[in-house]
Structure formats: structure tokens, C-alpha cells
Chain A
Amino acid sequence: MPGISRKVALAAAASVALLATACTGQSGSGASDDPSEDTTLNFWHAWSAPAEVKAVKSLVAGFEKAHPTIHVNVVGNMTDDKMNQALRTGGDKAPDVISSFTTNNVGKFCSSGALVDLNPLFEKSGIDPAKTFPKAMSEYTEFDGNRCSVPLLGDAYGLYYNKTAFEKADITTPPKTWSEFEADAKKLTISDGDSYKQLGFMPNYHGWETTTEHYLGQFSPTYFDSSGKSTIATDPAVEAGFTLQKKLVDELGGYQRLEKYRSTLGDEWGPKHPFQTGQVAMQLDGEWRLGMALDAKPDFEIGVAPLPVPDDQADQYGKGYITGTIAGIAATSKKQNAAWELVKYMTTDTAAVVAFSNAIHNVPSTLAALKSPDLKYDPRFKTFLDIAANPNSTTSPASVNGGVYLATIQNFGYEYESGKAKDLKAGLARTAKQIDTDIAQAK
């Protein structure tokens, strides 16, 4: 019996040891390859629309022409969930280079070591990220000093407005402060019984891009202190942002009425988007909306402006929330030097960035490209270029557990706008505590 127990214990210990070492996706350095040798890279990206896929192919073709020994196998329409799994498992078919639509996972990618730190590669290539990328874009691509990603075009958020509706309401200029915005939104709202003929602005957090972080971006919040603790309960910018949104909800008809109206509106990515149909007169949205709205051929003139700022920050009018697509090199890649050549070309070569921006209609992600005379755009698009280059523009910082803190803030936003949570200060304190607990859990 004791012999059997010993054997069982040994077997159990062996099983545990096997489990401990199995399937744990170790990240190797892999930076010993010679990029001048014949190499094929796997590049996974998230773009899926035919025009976008064509633009990516054209970008990669430009790279292959400049680097004849490096070939790129391009795989499109990849979601973050798929990329996460491939980055974990590695292998011949896994990506060497990834491009993700969201900046939310940068903290996870950096802290987990899923993507390699690009700082030594930037240094080796003599490129200073601080002088290459706009401030906000530089911020959202690094975490705790680890620059594991790099901006590959950006998104800037601004205000779209229906010029025809503005004229009818005798509004001559787009609002510059939130007070002006409130007044304009009310003026532009035309009720129709329990519903609306025209809504000035859809303030609800489920109103597509009117998320907490996009509102808060105009208030320049800090989110975290130097020790990594959440500051949302103590930062007056956050309280001001929540208060403004709630005021808009209440003044424009109340949560229930707005939600009911929202459920009748078309979806964000289709031609029946409520701004494009004229059902909503002002829209907080990214630069991509301009092309989509023009394609929908609305029967009104589209105006574009920066989003308003708080009344006491009127001198910062012109700033906006910035996010964007990122690129990075898989830690499991055995061809990291070749992968760096691709990443460097796509993200820092001015001609390549400009051509890609022209094709995709996103904001260029380098300071040089933002000023390039080769940029082709509708004059209204210039607003977004200016927002991207504005040093006061903001972003949401990377966190060790990705965008969980943003979802936690957003969930409190839903409670507050609906009236389920009434005490803003207590709610923000509870939310800050939850964010800190989630971060501690991830460490």
C-alpha cells in the first residue's frame, strides 16, 4: 500500500509538473534572423472591406519592392480574439506581425510579453518615437516604458453637424463649448409626440460613438495616478464629463424616451445611420464617418468641427480624443529583424503612411505625414488632421488588463444615465475601487 501511495504521489507530481510546463506559449527572443536573407513573414490585420484590403496589399507591395528578400503573406479580417490565441500559441502559421484595430489590448500585449518591446529596435534604427508620432498616439502604444506597439494610422474624434438643420435653427457656427453645445442640441431637437422628428444629439452611451471615454476625452482626464491607482473618483474632469452627459440626457427627453428612439434608428455601419438620414443633427464620431456619410448622399450639407470643450478650457478648443490601429511584432516570431523592417516601413515611412492614409481615409500617424503635401482629402477632413496634431488631444492610457477599466467606467455610465445610480461621487468611488481590484487581479 505505501508503495502504491508513493507511486500515485509520484504520478500526481509528474502530472502537475507537466501541466505547469505545457501549453504556456513561451515567448522567445527570436531576433537573430538576417533580414537580408530570403524570408517570408506572416502579417495579420483586421481590415476586411475590399477597398481596405486592397490598400493593405498595396502598402505591402511597396514594402516588398523596397525589400526584395522579404516576402509577406497577408491575412486579413482577423479579430483581436483570434490574434490573442495565435500570439499565445506561435508556430509557422502564426503571425510575425499583427495589426489590431483597438488600442485597448496594448497594456496586455506589453505586460504579458506577447509583443516584443520595440524601443531597442527604434534606437538601433535611429528613430525617436517622441519626435515621430503625435503625443497621444505615442502614449497609447506603450505601457510602463515598454513600447510593444506602434501606431499604424489613427482615429480622431470630432463633431459632425447638419448644416441645413443649423441654418433652419438659426445657428451660425458649430458650438465651441459644452454650454453652447447644450443650447444648440435643444434648439435642434424637434419633438413628435413621444418621439422625435429630429433629435439635436443622441447623448446616450449606447449611441454608437458616444462612449464614456470619447466624452471624457474632451475633459482631459488622468485615469491613473503615478502608482497606477484609478483617479476617476478624485479627478474633477471625470465628474464634469459624467455630469454633462446626464444633463444632456435629461434635457433632450430623458433616458427612456431617448432609448426608445435609439432602438428605431439604423445601425452604426449601415447607410441608415441616423446622422446620415437626418434623424440626428449632431454626431460625435471618428474621421471615417465623413467618407461614409458622403457615400450615403444625404440631402443636407455636412459640417465638421472639433468637439466642444468645457467652458473653462475654451483656449483648448481644437483638441479631441485620439485612438487608432496599432502594429506589433509577435514575441513568438523567429524573424523579428525582418518583421521590424516591415513594421518600420508601414509606420514610419512618410510616403507609405501618406499613401495608406489616402487609401483608407484614416488620420496619418506620423507628424511628418500629417504635414505632407501629398495627403489627399476633402477640406473637411483637415479638422481631424488638426485634432491629431493638437498637443492637447487626449487618449485613454494602456492598462495591464487592457480595456477592462474603460468597460467598468462605461458600465457605471449606463447605471448613471438611466437613473439606476443616483449618487455620482459614490458611484465613481465604487467604480475606482473596482478598477483597482481588477488591476490587482491581473498582476
Chain B
Amino acid sequence: MSTITLASKRRRSALRTAAFMSPWLIGFAVFFAYPMISTVYFSFMQYDGFKPPTWSGTKNWTYVFEHYPYFWPALRNTLWLVLITVTLRVAFGLGVGLLITKIRTGTGVFRTLFYLPYLAPPVAATMAFAFLLNPGTGPVNSILEGIGIPAPGWFNDPSWSKPALTLLALWGIGDLMVIFMAALLDVPREQYEAAELDGASAWQRFRFVTLPNISPIVMFAVVTGVIQTMQYYAQPLIAGKVASGVIQGAGTQFEPGYPDKSTLTLPQLVYNLGFQRFDYGSACVVALVLFALSMAFTALLMRRRGGLIQAGD
């Protein structure tokens, strides 16, 4: 009798727990589990969105990895942007945050100046950059040529298009600057004072006081930066379209990546395959690659951070 009561109590408790967790569980099931399972399922199906899906085995996987000419360039570009752009954005955001916390006057003005670009809509900001960096008529190249520096082709040159996108990302650094400023102002003053008494140099104070204190924020900035870069879509697409001159065109066949596939990113392929080519199966394969990459980067970073904390301890 007492066993039944205990079991019933446990069941009630479990139900209560489930009820409290249900908003999250429903959200997880609807917005993560179902799309995830569907994506895996459709990656093995021939599906154009009109006719019912049919089993195609590994055909989509083989196509994407072996025959789809945009996949490897897009993967290389995405990895380039993750490694270079995210690193530079975190370093630049931290640098700007450090500078602004140090200056005594005009903090508000600088804070506003650095934050404002972040509020610009990505499409408008990208179009503005494409015009500023226009190799023929843009003011940036006019200035560079004026002072005798060879002017790059920026968005019209495959070797300069990703650095130009990185410049655009650095211009909109406001989000990271605010986060780093909050973290920097939160570092206990007494730790700096103790380090100064011990004769630590500015670099040593940064390395052994500032960095360990803000490392969770650095980690947050890196992980969210990696995820955002994995989803990088609007800026490279718009930059490529504006620079190529194919802004719109009735009946004009335009595939992204101008110039020479250098601005292709994996999310563009998901859209191109799924919604323009009607090949949902292959689009799902690319989406799964993106997911696997994001997971791998995050796991790697979390592991590295675990190591850092242990070393710090």
C-alpha cells in the first residue's frame, strides 16, 4: 500500500515537473526537435515541395559533397569568415571597449559613435559599403589613390571581397563593445591595485587580471560570433549583387557568390537549393553540415575554455 502511494507520489511529482517544464519542452519540440528530425529525414528524400517526397538514399549527400560546384567554395569562405572575421571582431570589440573605459572625457560621445553603426539595417549598411568601396567611383579608393596607395577592387575582386566584408563587420562592432565595456567595468579594482603593487606591467595586468575576469564574456562573444557567421547571409549576398550590377532583372538568372564564388556562404546555398532550385533534400544536407560545424566549433571552444579555467585555477 505504501509502495503504491510512493509510486503515485513520484508520478504526481514527475507530472508536476513536466507541467512546469512544458513551455520549454513544447518550444524545444516545435522549434528544434521537429525541424531537426525533418531536416535529417528530408536529406534522404527527393523532394521539390510539390510532389510527395520519395526515398533517394544518399543521393543528395553525394550530390552536395561531390557534384555541387558551390559547396566547397562556400564552406571555405564560411570557415575563413569564422576564423578571421570572428577573431578580428572580438579583438576589435575588446580593444574599443578597453579604450572607451579608459578615456576620461567624451565617453558618451564615443560610445554613441561606435554603437550607432550597429543599428544600421544590414542591407542598407552593405549597400552603403559597396558604394563607398566601389573601385571606380568610391571615395575610399579615390583617397587611397590620392595618397599613392594601390587601390584594391574590394567587392569586385575575389581576393578582396572577404576582407571588405570583414571591414563591414568591424564597422558594426557596437554590440560587442557594449558587452565588453560592461565586463571590463565589472573587474574588481582591488585586483588591479594589487597587481600594480606587485609591479605588474600594463600587459601583465591585462593578461593576468583583465582577461581571466572577462573570459566568460570573451567565450560568449566568440561562440555567438561563430554562430552568427555560420548564418551569414544578407551582407555577402547584397554585396555580391550590388558589385556585380545584377540588382534585379526580369528573367535574369543570378546565382550568388560574385565575384568568382568568393562571397558564397553556406546559408546562401540553403536558400539557393531549397527555394530557387526546389531541391529541398540537398538544402537539408547543407543545413545539417552547418549544424554539425556550429556544434563542432562550440564544443571545441567550450573544451578550450575548460582548459583555460583549469590552467587559471
Contact = CB atoms under 8 A, between A and B. Distances in A.
Interface of A: 15-16, 19-21, 24-27, 46, 81, 84-85, 87-88, 101-104, 108, 112-114, 155, 206-208, 211, 213, 259-265, 267-269, 323-325, 331, 401-404, 406-408, 410-411, 414-415, 418, 420, 434, 437-438, 441-442
Contacts of A402: 276-278
B249 interface: yes
A108 B247 contact: no
Contacts of B251: 101-104, 155, 323-324
A331 to B, nearest CB: 8
A25 to B, nearest CB: 6
Interface stretch (B44-52, B95-103, B116-124, B192-200): B44-52
A268 B50 contact: no
A113 B127 CA distance: 38
A155 B53 CA distance: 36
Select the residue from B37, B136, B244, B251 with max chain A CB neighbours within 10 A: B251
Interface in B232-252: 243-252
Contacts of A207: 245
B245 to A, nearest CB: 6
19 contacts: A19-B38, A25-B49, A46-B250, A85-B275, A88-B50, A112-B51, A112-B278, A206-B246, A206-B258, A208-B249, A263-B135, A263-B137, A268-B247, A268-B249, A324-B251, A325-B250, A437-B67, A441-B60, A441-B63
A442 B53 contact: no
Interface string B45-70: 00111111100000110010001010
B161 interface: no
A85 B271 CA distance: 12
A441 B59 contact: yes
B245 A208 contact: yes
B30 to A, nearest CB: 13
Contact of B277 (A87, A323, A404): A404
B52 to A, nearest CB: 5
Given A108-B278, A206-B246, A434-B67, A407 B49 contact: no
Contacts of B248: 269
A260 B136 contact: yes
A46 B60 CA distance: 32
Contacts of A208: 245, 249
Contacts of A264: 134, 136-137
Contacts, number: 125
Contacts of A260: 135-136, 153
B245 A267 contact: yes
Interface in B146-194: 153, 156
Contacts of B136: 260-265
Nearest to A443: B46
Contact of B253 (A104, A206, A259, A441): A104
A72 B255 CA distance: 34
Given A263-B136, A414-B260, A441-B282, 10 more contacts: A20-B53, A102-B252, A108-B48, A208-B245, A211-B252, A263-B153, A264-B137, A324-B251, A410-B255, A434-B69
Contacts of A442: 48, 277-279
Contacts of A114: 50
B291 interface: no
Q: How large is the interface on B (under 10, 10 to 19, 20 to 34, 35 or more residues)?
A: 35 or more
A361 to B, nearest CB: 13
Contacts of A81: 275-276
A158 to B, nearest CB: 16
Tell me what chain B mostly uses at the interface: helix, strand, loop, or mixed. loop
Contact of B250 (A20, A25, A155, A401): A155
B41 interface: yes
Scoring B60, B248, B249, B253 by chain A CB atoms within 10 A of each residue's CB, the highest score goes to B253
Closest 10 CB pairs of A and B: A264-B136, A101-B250, A112-B50, A102-B251, A263-B136, A403-B253, A88-B49, A407-B255, A406-B253, A407-B253
A269 B134 contact: no
B247 A411 contact: no
A102 B250 contact: yes
Given A263-B137, A414-B260, A20 B52 contact: yes
Interface string B125-149: 0000000001111000000000000
Contacts of B275: 81, 84-85
A263 B47 CA distance: 40
A21 B250 contact: no
B274 to A, nearest CB: 10
Interface in B246-269: 246-255, 258, 260
B19 to A, nearest CB: 21
B44 to A, nearest CB: 11
A112 B48 contact: yes
Contacts of B50: 24-25, 27, 87-88, 112-114, 331
A264 B47 CA distance: 43
Contact of A24 (B53, B258, B276, B277): B53
Contacts of A437: 63, 67
Nearest to B40: A19
B159 to A, nearest CB: 13
Nearest to B63: A441
B244 A21 contact: no
Max chain B CB contacts within 10 Å: which of A19, A104, A325, A410?
A19
A267 B255 contact: no
Given A20-B52, A84-B278, A410 B253 contact: yes
Nearest to A100: B251
B132 to A, nearest CB: 13
A442 B260 CA distance: 25
Nearest to B45: A20
Contacts of B52: 20-21, 24, 26
| Centre residue among B246, B260, B278 by max chain A CB count within 10 A | B278
A44 to B, nearest CB: 15
A207 B37 CA distance: 44
Interface string B199-239: 00000000000000000000000000000000000000000
